[in-house]
């Protein structure tokens, strides 16, 4: 078995996909004609967004992501060679700073933002962890394992 999809329920699928394209340079892979489901091209594992109404259609009860609430208990970790530039680009696209990029004791640079905070009352509040790929790769090689 392998992880194939991460699906996040959001209030506005097209706006969320548009944000991720502008903020992080990801490319839209698919948007259903209903506008209730869309995917981003993120490599082997698909990052997808589904409209909150889709949860009910599948018989699921979810806690909606609202800007006034604490962030959901997960992260979408994006890896880049330049986390500081990625962080600035995300802010220009409307992301909200949670924690600016800082160098961790193991040499990895990590920053956190909230997405769509300025665009919608209800939105995804997952923190995006922007990792420095080259530093992370070197740290993992020397540690012999994957870093969080």
Of residues 124, 131, 133, the one with CA closest to residue 101: 131
Contact (Cβ atoms closer than 8 angstroms) between residue 29 and residue 39: yes
CATH assignment of the domain containing 100: 3.10.180.10
| Residues 89/98/82/119 CA torsion (nearest 10 deg) | -20
Tally of structural domains, the chain: 1
CA distance 98 to 114: 7
Of residues 140, 136, 26, 25, the one with CA closest to residue 85: 25
Residue 98 pLDDT more than 50? yes
Q: Higher confidence at residue 47 or residue 143?
A: 47
The mean per-residue pLDDT over the stretch 81-96 comes to: 89
The mean per-residue pLDDT over the stretch 29-54 comes to: 94
Residue 134 pLDDT more than 70? no
CA distance 40 to 76: 13
The mean per-residue pLDDT over the stretch 128-142 comes to: 55
Q: Is 38 contained in some domain?
A: yes
Contact (Cβ atoms closer than 8 angstroms) between residue 113 and residue 89: no
CA distance 114 to 86: 13
Domain of 111?
5-143
Q: Is 23 contained in some domain?
A: yes
Q: In what order do the strands lie in the sheet with 75-80?
A: 75-80, 127-132, 109-114, 96-103
What tokens does 67 get? 């800007």
- According to the model, what pLDDT value does residue 19 have? 93
Tens of pLDDT, residues 112-132: 888 875 443 333 334 455 566
- According to the model, what pLDDT value does residue 83 have? 87
CA distance 111 to 103: 9
The mean per-residue pLDDT over the stretch 49-58 comes to: 93
- According to the model, what pLDDT value does residue 77 have? 85
Q: Is 75 contained in some domain?
A: yes
Q: Is 148 contained in some domain?
A: no
pTM: 0.78
Q: Is 63 contained in some domain?
A: yes
């Amino acid at each position: 078995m392998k992880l194939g999809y991460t699906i996040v329920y959001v209030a506005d699928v097209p706006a969320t996909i548009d944000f991720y394209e502008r903020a992080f340079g990801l490319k839209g892979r698919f948007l259903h004609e209903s506008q209730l489901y869309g995917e981003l091209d993120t490599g082997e594992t698909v990052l997808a967004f589904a409209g909150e109404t889709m949860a009910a259609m599948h018989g699921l009860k979810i806690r909606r992501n609202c800007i006034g609430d604490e962030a959901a208990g997960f992260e979408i970790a994006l890896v880049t060679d330049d986390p500081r530039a990625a962080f600035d680009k995300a802010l220009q696209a409307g992301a909200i700073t949670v924690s600016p990029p800082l160098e961790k004791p193991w040499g990895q640079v990590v920053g956190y933002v909230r997405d769509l905070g300025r665009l919608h009352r209800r939105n995804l509040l997952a923190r995006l962890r922007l990792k420095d790929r080259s530093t992370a790769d070197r740290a993992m090689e020397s540690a012999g394992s994957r870093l969080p």
